[in-house]
Structure 1
Amino acid sequence: MTGPALPELDPVIHAQARLRVTVALAGLHRADQITFPRLQQLLDMTAGNLSTHLRKLEDAGYVEITKAYEHRTPVTLVRLTEPGRTAFEQYTEALHRLLDAGA
């Protein structure tokens, strides 16, 4: 007798660093953005490591990166897209189901 299949976890989000990025961005209001240096500071990640993981999330359509200028200074802004927010919500639901199955 077999039980229900265990849920799959989104491999794009599941990597620890990308999960941390996604959690931080999901904590923002839907339309809000965060600057790259502030996100880097919050997550205590190197610029190169954060850039690598943001690129993976961007390739999946989960984050949007905007380059802008603020008082002639370049600024990189990051936000979670609606598909990214949906993927994160599905990820957390799958994780709950997975944990409940083990209880």
Structure 2
Amino acid sequence: MTGDPALPIALDRLIHERLRLAIVSALAVHDSLTFTDLRTLLDTSDGNVSVHARKLEDAGYVTCTKSFDGRVPRTEYRLTGKGRQALERYLSHMEALIKRVGGA
């Protein structure tokens, strides 16, 4: 990242939140994850996954597909292109911030 070192680095507040960043990061390395997969992977509650995944879905960062596996509901999440770009920008900003703070 180039530019004036005195300018603040703008972080994406939507994915800066710990659990949303974890959801986006998990989806970046998997084609898709079910609701149960995310809950287990992130070691959190149903409510946390639901609320944070909905915010990401509303922003267009993830898609949510609901279906049935037999009679059992199945919710599956995928990272969108917009979500992947947001994550890449976020990681670039964090790297630039770390370099700035570290004096590198």
State how far apart, in whole Å, the 1-side matches of 2:14 and 2:94 are.
Answer: 14
Structure 2 residue aligned with 1:42 = 41
Deviations 1:68-92 (A, max 9, x none): 1222322100111110001000000
TM-score (norm 1): 0.90
Alignment pair present for 1:91 and 2:90: yes
In structure 1, how many angstroms separate the alpha carbons of the residues matched to 2:62 and 2:81? 9
Tell me whether 1:15 sits opposite 2:20 in the alignment. no
**What secondary structure is seen at the aligned counterpart in 2 of 1:12?**
helix
Once the two structures are superposed, what CA deviation does each residue of 1:36-74 show, in whole Å capped at 9, x if it has no partner? Answer: 001100000100011000011111100100001222322
How many residue pairs end up in the alignment?
99
Q: Which residue identity is paired with 1:101?
A: R
RMSD of equivalent CA atoms:
1.3
**Take 1:10 and 1:80, find their aligned partners in 2: how far apart are those partners?**
16
Q: Does 1:55 align with 2:54?
A: yes
Give the Cα separation in 2 of the matches to 1:13 and 1:3.
Answer: 23
Q: In the aligned structure 2, how far is the partner of 1:89 from the partner of 1:49? A: 24
Gap regions ≥5 residues in structure 2:
none
Please tell me the residue identity of whatever aligns with 1:92: L
Q: Aligned partners of 1:82 and 1:33: how far apart in 2?
A: 13
